[in-house]
């Protein structure tokens, strides 16, 4: 059974890696008599290259740095809050976090809570 051409513009490969919309009117069908439920869509497959051993190692190192930074930020915020080291410049911990780091109250406490969970889990 033949399917009617799609009303959608099709993607055609270009010389760059960015897809471009087809500009050939023969590749488009804008007929109003076509049933949209039976549209055909053409999808171009893209090859995804595996990471080299060096790239995998770098990814692992960077992921660990992000995890450590998040943990260290939570630990530092917890100590700043618990020891009230903000008291010389701010009335509350929330004001301090908002003005110094641009963190909302929830963002600061989320980091602190995540740190507490992580430390209790390990």
Q: Are residues 75 and 97 in the same domain?
A: yes
Given a cut of 80, whether residue 15 has pLDDT beyond it is: no
Same domain (yes/no): 26, 79: no
What range defines the domain where residue 36 resides? 1-48
| Structural domain count, the chain | 2
Residue 38 above 70 pLDDT? yes
Q: For the chain, state the CA radius of gyration.
A: 27
- Regarding whether 116 and 63 lie in a shared domain, the answer is yes
Same domain, 36 and 61: no
d(CA 45, CA 71): 39
- Average pLDDT on 6-30 reads 51
d(CA 77, CA 56): 32
What was the pLDDT predicted at 121?
80
């Amino acid at each position: 059974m033949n399917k009617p051409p799609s009303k959608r513009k099709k993607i055609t490969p270009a010389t760059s890696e960015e897809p471009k919309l087809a500009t050939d009117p023969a590749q488009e069908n804008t007929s109003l008599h076509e049933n949209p439920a039976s549209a055909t869509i053409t999808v171009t497959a893209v090859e995804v290259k595996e990471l080299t051993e060096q790239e995998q190692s770098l990814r692992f190192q960077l992921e660990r740095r992000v995890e450590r930074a998040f943990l260290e930020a939570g630990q530092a915020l917890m100590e700043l809050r618990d020891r009230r080291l903000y008291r010389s410049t701010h009335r509350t911990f929330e004001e301090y976090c908002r003005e110094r780091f641009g963190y909302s109250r929830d963002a600061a406490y989320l980091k602190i809570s995540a740190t507490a969970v992580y430390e209790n889990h390990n």
